[in-house]
Amino acid sequence: MGWFKDLKEDVAAVFERDPAARTTLEVVLTYPGVHALIWHRLAHALWVRRWRFMARLISASSRFLTGIEIHPGACIGRRFFIDHGMGVVIGETAEIGDDVTLYHGVTLGGTSWKPGKRHPSLGKGVVVGAGAKVLGPIHVGDGAKIGSNAVVVKPVPAAATVVGNPGRIINRDGDPHKERIAYAQSLGFHAYGMDSADPDPVALAIRSLLDHMQAVDRRMDVFCQAMKAGGIDLCDTTVPVLKDEDFAGVKDEGGDVNVD
């Protein structure tokens, strides 16, 4: 009765990760992620026994009924949870560890037409946010988190958080914005998108440039005031207002401005 034990664990995982779940009957009857996983376990059992056509037929039927496409060749661990599920695609050579969570619109896809390992491997406890794309035969380490709509094509170390397109690691040791990043991470991981404290490195760089420009302006103001107090006024930044008489002797002919 291994399949029944797996089902109990899958249902328990739903209660752990989805506060909207109320009863076991509701989860078993109405959660497409659970349905897709049940069908996949059957299809995968047939696939490894080389009943390939029947496995693909079951997989195609599951996709039609749930909106989730899982190739029967994919290897999936225990307590796997697909939240909402619509649009999830998992390729043939994908490998998924225990306690992994995927949200809707996630793709675990390949980047090559060559046979062999083409799809990513996810370690234990990985969370992949809505709309994210993890592509190619890369490894995502245990406990890593991939933000909403990220596109990941390079390996991700364990416990890292990746956001953006292309995917960027936002909690690398030695990051100059460590305090801001720590604050953003303390707010919790957002599977549907980062919050207002988004620690995207590009956004941080732009903010840093703006902060630096403002600091330079303030220092220039102090410098100019000190010079003016000493009788040297070289910092007059007032923009002169031009009057009509300033254009005396200038005429416009055929769109070109010429001086008489």
Mean pLDDT for the stretch of residues 199-204: 63
For 4-59, write each residue's pLDDT tens digit.
888 889 899 999 888 888 999 999 999 999 999 999 999 999 999 999 999 999 99
State residue 113's pLDDT score.
85
What is the domain range of residue 11? 2-197
Question: 251 falls in which pLDDT band (50, 70, 90)?
Answer: low
Residue 214 has pLDDT above 80, yes or no: yes
For 67-87, write each residue's pLDDT tens digit.
999 999 999 999 999 998 899
| Residues pairing with 89 in the sheet | 69, 107
Please identify, among 145, 164, 197, the residue that sits at the C-terminal boundary of a domain.
Answer: 197
* pTM for the model: 0.67
Q: What is the CATH number of the domain that holds 38?
A: 2.160.10.10
Question: 257 falls in which pLDDT band (50, 70, 90)?
Answer: very low
For residue 173, give the nearest of 157, 184, 188, 187 by alpha carbon.
157
Distance CA 126, CA 8 (A): 21
**Domain match, 48 and 161 both:** yes
**Domain match, 29 and 150 both:** yes
